[in-house]
Amino acid sequence: MISIRKIGVIGRTYRNLNRYRQILAVLFKYGFDDIVELLKIEQYIEIGLQVISRNRGERVERLSRAVRVRMAVEELGPTFIKMGQILSTRPDLVPVDFIRELAKLQDKVPAFSFADVRRIIHEETGRPADDLFDQLDPEPLASASIGQVHRARLKDGEDVAVKVQRPGIRKLVEVDLEIMLHLATLAERHIEELAHHRPVKIVEEFARTIEKEMDYTLEATSMERVARSFLLDETVYIPKVYREAATERVLTTEFVDGIKVSLLDRLDENGYDRQLITRRGADILLTQIFEHGFFHADPHPVNLFVLPNNVICLLDFGMMGTVDRNTREAFVELVDAVVRRDEPRTTQVMLKLTLWDEEPDLRLLGKDVADFLGEHLYKSLRDIQIGKLLHHLLELAAQHGLRIPPEIFLMMKAISTVEGVGLMLDPDFDMIAHAEPFIRQVKLSRFSPERLSSDAVSIFAQYMDFVQEFPKDLLEITRTIRQKKFTFMLDLKSMESMLSTHDQISNRISFSIIIAALIIGSALIVISKTPPLFYGISLIGIIGFLAAALMGIWLLVAIVKKGRL
């Protein structure tokens, strides 16, 4: 289990300070020294920031902030790369321009030693690699930030792929997460613009996500779940999981010798039907989303192989998406409203699907939705790419402070990716037309007898719960009132502003009364010629008049500054 500890006594250990220094050096290198200084790090960490080189080339200065973030993340290593990749799927946490850059991150790092591979297999399974495998290839098939894959053969002759987690990766992730959390906490405390993006929540979300990704038993379970869903479908193939050699850090699956979907020449040479592959690939994803509610969230060409008879094989189930029935139906409503150019309904469903801190200006949002539909929809549906359409819709939502929930964005990203693969295989592929039967089925299913009876039973059950619980709740409220523990809280949006205005008014009135009192008092003192006298005039009275004049000028300036006399 990965633990995140706040930088304190633990954080002052050498491993954290040394890593902290590396991170700060990279931030300075890519032009983020202004942020580092605003964080006031030296108050918390005994580290000489002045010794860190601030040299950077002129080329970096000319790059956008999002590009520099991506370059810094690449240099900071596996944990930060993985965080960047995960955040590229979270428009509810990260601005749209940063999402585009983070999506470019490549998860490729040097392979670790074969001796470590054998050691980890032994530690995890309790058996030496030679007892499990008849053959284990020392050269990895692929190497990534979390682990690497080796081809092997079981004792019964089955060819398998063995994914082994990188040694020491958990400790490295823990150290980096501790530092990330500390920096995020300082950012929320000292930098108002960054606090708006809730950096502490971002780190905590990332910690939960990477914890799941580093547990290979969860990936094994996902593979088996998807395989069961397509058990009777001969157009899709999911590799078998070998549970006897599957643990948190080791995953053994069937080795599949297919052709990557991106190798178009090889597909053509072997006589595969590219149009059929495109249709089947789209069917697989749309079935997962709209029927199963559990889908492969990264259907990248690297993770799609083609087998004989144009069968599609899915690989790498580390990132999965889950979407419930209500969300699926709302998403279908959105797509349907957009395609039908229904501006009011599109605006309404967008609000239903998104999250926000403050309700947007509905008039302005409706106008921008109308402009969006006018820009994209007044042309042949065949010419519309649903991926571009959804991403422009995402940008529109961000402009109005609306945040797309992660499950919706993963769905949009998966559909966009499959559409891109489909257009690569078949330039005439029309994703909207292909998705139309799935959309129609979701809409019709809401009115099926089974669904209506299920909803009726659910509503009746909720009503019965209310009837049973209401008397208890009423008695509890009565008991609380009798014991004088009842507290009534009124939270009005503009209350704080109104109270501030009232304070300002009362202060001005009080100030005016004091000025008037000074003038009247000073006049009485001058008339009575109270000593000491200055040219026959009371000096105390003169001082009182001067004080009243200064206070009057001060009050007048304050009123003029506010723009209201």
All structural domains of the chain with their residue ranges: 10-106+171-212, 113-166+215-255, 260-446, 451-488, 501-562
**Are 74 and 30 spatial neighbours (Cβ–Cβ below 8 Å)?**
no
Tokens of 233: 């479908």
Active-site residue, from 283, 298, 316, 430 = 298
CA separation (Å) from 102 to 34, 85, 197, 404? 22, 6, 16, 17
Residue 435 CB partners (closer than 8 Å, separation 6+): 282, 286, 335, 386, 415
Mean pLDDT by groups of 10 residues along the chain of 565 residues: 48 65 84 77 55 55 85 86 80 76 78 94 93 94 89 94 92 86 83 72 81 90 95 94 93 94 92 94 93 89 92 91 88 83 87 83 88 72 69 81 82 87 90 86 78 73 78 79 66 60 75 83 80 79 84 77 56
Other Cβ atoms closer than 10 A to 345? 16
Domain 113-166+215-255 is in which class? alpha beta
Can you point out the beta strands (E) in 100-221? 133-143, 147-154, 159-165
pLDDT at 309: 94
**Are 73 and 80 spatial neighbours (Cβ–Cβ below 8 Å)?**
yes
Q: How far apart are CA 93 and CA 199, in angstroms?
A: 8
Tokens of 560: 């003029």
CA atoms within 13 A on the CB side of 417: 21
Tokens of 322: 């889950």
Strand 147-154 to 159-165 pairing: antiparallel
Output b/e per residue, 62-86; b: 16+ Cβ within 10 A: eeeebbbbbbbbeebbbbbbbbbbb
pLDDT at 92: 66
The type of residue at 127 is R
Q: Could you report the per-residue pLDDT of 421-435, keeping only the tens digit for each? A: 998 999 888 888 888
Q: Is the dihedral of CA 132, 136, 142, 144 positive or negative?
A: positive
Other Cβ atoms closer than 10 A to 364? 11
Q: What is Dmax (Cα atoms) for the chain?
A: 121
- In this structure, the chain runs to a length of 565
CA atoms within 13 A on the CB side of 530: 12
Token pair 């929320």 in the structure block, residue: 188
pLDDT at 1: 53
pLDDT at 496: 61
pLDDT at 12: 47
Classified as helix, coil or strand, 150 is strand
Q: How far apart are CA 538 and CA 532, in angstroms?
A: 6
**Are 71 and 104 spatial neighbours (Cβ–Cβ below 8 Å)?**
no
**Could you confirm whether 298 is annotated as catalytic?**
yes
- Residue of 356, 258, 379, 269 whose CA lies nearest to 308: 258
pLDDT at 125: 92
pLDDT at 261: 93
- Residue of 370, 365, 367, 417 whose CA lies nearest to 391: 417
Omega of the bond prior to 406 within 30 degrees of 0, cis? Answer: no
